[in-house]
Structure 1
Amino acid sequence: MPHSIRLGGPALRTRGGAGGVDERRGAMNQAQQAFVELARHPDEGIDLAAGALAVSGLFQRELAQGDALAELDALASEVRGRIPDDADLFDRVRALNAVLFEELGFAGNQEDFYDPRNSFLDQVLARRLGIPITLAVVYIEVAARIGLPAFGVGFPAHFLVRIGRGDTALMLDVYAGGVALPESELDQRLADLYGAGTLSIRSHPALLRPATKREILVRMLRNLIGIYRDRNEPINRLEALTAALTLAPDLPDELRERGLLYRDLEYVPAALGDLRRFVEVSDDAEQIAAVSKLIDELGGQDGGVRLH
């Protein structure tokens, strides 16, 4: 994790109450180390629920990971009890939807979509409120426990869940209560985003490919990066950027943003490291030119370190 610094204490200062800063810093160092260890695994070795909880642990002083995992097991047990022995894929989906959305009330948080708690799996399980990607993680993890093949899909602007493979696969919008989306609806969503006739599922079937676990975690972190940017919480934003780059070290946008944030925090060596790497991996000529100019300006300041 190049140019990383330990940021746990300040990240929780606004919501940690009167607890000692040293105590918070130690807890967060532990959470950061756990995240680094998780990121070292190949994708097939990453437990999605544990990964999502590791994200939560970076921003919360106390996290009962065991309780959250036990809740997923309990949800699966409840669903399993509703499934007849001769159930097919559709029966399993109906049972899962009935328990999660109709009976327990899991739903999208439309009133406060950008509340950071919507991105923390333990909080989503406790409050039964989330955003598309965290509700999808709940759905995928419960589905896996009942033998239902479910995958996340990084559909543009709105994360979806895919059940099954091939022509019989179902695309579900779990933010809307697990409703199945026909191809025509998916095409309409693409038209709304990019203009009519620009993209379609038939012309771009890769839009429905299952996301890797690493991609899911990065997308969760990108949500948090945006939230903390809008809330003007630079230390939490730095935490989220560093976690995303721990999972995928050469993300151009995140390298550039973290480099600029380090610059703003007057941590020049780290800023230069990120910005130079951005120039190496980016294919955006205009941004490369602007960042290269900034690198030249910062070069004379290299050596001083200040972190607010």
Structure 2
Amino acid sequence: MKIFSNIDFSKQSIFESMVVAFQLIRKNFPAEEVKKELKSRIKEIKFSISSENNEINKLKKMLQIFYSKWGFGGANKKYKLSDVLWIDSVLKTRQGTAVSLGIIILYIAKELELSLTPVIFPTQLILRSDIRDKKPWLIDPFNGETLNEHILEVWLKGNISPTALLYKNDLNEAKSLTVIRKILNTLKAALMEEKNMELALNVSNLLIQLDPNDPYEIRDRGLIYAQLECGKVALRDLAYFVEHCPEDPISEIIKVQIHSIEQKKITFH
């Protein structure tokens, strides 16, 4: 597999990095078609916002076109989670998650030279613009609507804890690599849930390229190998996790999994 970790994530957009990642994960990922469609959409927006006289109005117009005219937004019917994460699928159905819609919006904004950055909020990805004079402009990637501190506090209390508080660093700009890890981890979990273990393994291997010694990523790869009936490599990865995270409560469950794989090997031999 191509070395994904060799990419300089600080020099290219999250969108461009994810196109490379999706090509490595899925052999049939239509990278050129995706790039061509985005280029065409950016050209349309560029023409539409050319008459706007300041950056705030240009950003508002861009969001209006993306969500109202083109109809992008959150999925409104039953769906497989992976379908709202793959960029080609999102462009086709115009339905995505906060993170998949967010990276498309971020890319369009970057190409239009509009100020927009990602924030990994505790509940979901949100977008931030600092072109206003005072407080940052916070945007929900699901629908393009403006977020305020009250809404964010409600999200925290409803999803994290009734006593959760909003802190200033909750709204800090996220590094590209942090967002990329989030997308890949979400995709890996979705593919595992959907029992698409071959693709899940490809995602897992990309994540391990980014952090070769992360015991949690290695554990997940071991669990995928176990589902693929690759007992020897599964045992190696699961044992690595138990050795490096003995205090983690999950270690006891992983020990049971290791025992089960070992017993299966004895049965077959």
TM range (shorter): 0.7 to 0.9
Q: Residue 64 of structure 1 aligns with which residue?
A: 30
What residue number does 2:101 align with?
135
State the shift of 1:107 in Å. 1.6
1:112 and 2:78 equivalent? yes
- C-alpha RMSD of matched pairs (Å): 2.9
Paired residue type of 2:107: E
Q: CA–CA distance in 1 between the matches of 2:50 and 2:119?
A: 28
Greater alpha carbon shift after TM alignment, 151-160 vs 38-47: 38-47
Deviation string 1:16-50 (CA, Å, 9 cap, x unpaired) is xxxxxxxxxxxxxxxx42xx2x3212431344222
| 2:135 aligned to which of 157, 164, 168 | 168
Q: Are the structure 2 counterparts of residues 95 and 268 from structure 1 closer, same or farther at C-alpha, using a change threshold of 3 Å?
A: same
The alpha-carbon deviation at position 144 of structure 1 amounts to 0.3
Q: Which residue of 2 aligns with 1:270?
A: 233
How many angstroms apart in 2 are the aligned matches of 1:212 and 1:104? 28
Work out whether residues 55 and 120 of structure 1, in 8 Å CA contact, stay in contact via their aligned partners in 2.
Answer: no
Where does 1:217-296 land on structure 2 (aligned, <5 Å)? 217-279=180-242, 282=245, 284-288=247-251, 291=254
Partner of 1:121: 87
Give the TM-score of the pair, scaled to structure 1.
0.74
Bigger CA drift: 181-190 or 225-234? 225-234
Partner of 1:44: 10
Q: Call closer, same or farther: CA 1:123–1:197 in 2, change over 3 Å.
A: same
CA contact (8 A) 1:73 1:145 kept: no
Mark the CA change 1:205 to 1:121 in structure 2 (over 3 Å): closer, same or farther: same
Within-5 A mapping of 1:8-27: none
Residue identity in the other structure for 1:98: Q
**Which deviations, in whole Å up to 9, do the C-alpha atoms of 1:56-75 show, x marking residues without a partner?**
32454433323322322322
- Alpha-carbon distance change, 198 to 48 in structure 1, aligned in 2, over 3 angstroms: closer
CA contact (8 A) 1:106 1:128 kept: yes
- Could you tell me which runs of 5 or more consecutive residues in structure 2 were left unpaired when the two chains were aligned: none
Q: 1:181 aligns with which of 147, 166, 178?
A: 147
Separation of aligned partners in 2, 1:173 and 1:113: 21
Q: Tell me the CA shift for residue 276 of structure 1.
A: 4.3
Q: What are the Cα deviations for residues 139-190 of structure 1, in whole angstroms up to 9, with x where unaligned?
A: 0000001111212222223221112279532111121x20010011111100
1:123–1:295: structure 2 CA closer, same or farther, 3 Å change rule?
A: closer
Alignment partner, residue 163 of structure 2: 197
Contact 2:192 2:224 in 1 (8 A): no
1:147 is matched with 113
How high is the sequence identity, in percent, across the aligned residues?
19
Q: Deviations over 1:255-306 (max 9, x none)?
A: 222213323434344324423443465485323455467668878999xxxx
Q: Which amino acid aligns with 1:211?
A: A
The 3 A distance-change label for structure 1 pair 105 and 184 is same
The 8 Å contact of residues 154 and 210 in structure 1, kept in 2 or not, is answered as yes
* C-alpha spacing 1:286/1:164, structure 2 compared with 1 (3 Å): same
Structure 2 length normalisation: TM-score? Answer: 0.83
SS class of match (1:152): strand
Q: Which blocks of at least 5 consecutive residues in structure 1 are unaligned?
A: 1-31, 303-308
Greater displacement, 38-47 / 205-214: 38-47
Cα distance between partner residues in 2 of 1:285 and 1:257: 14
Instruction: State which drifts further: 58-67 or 117-126.
Output: 58-67
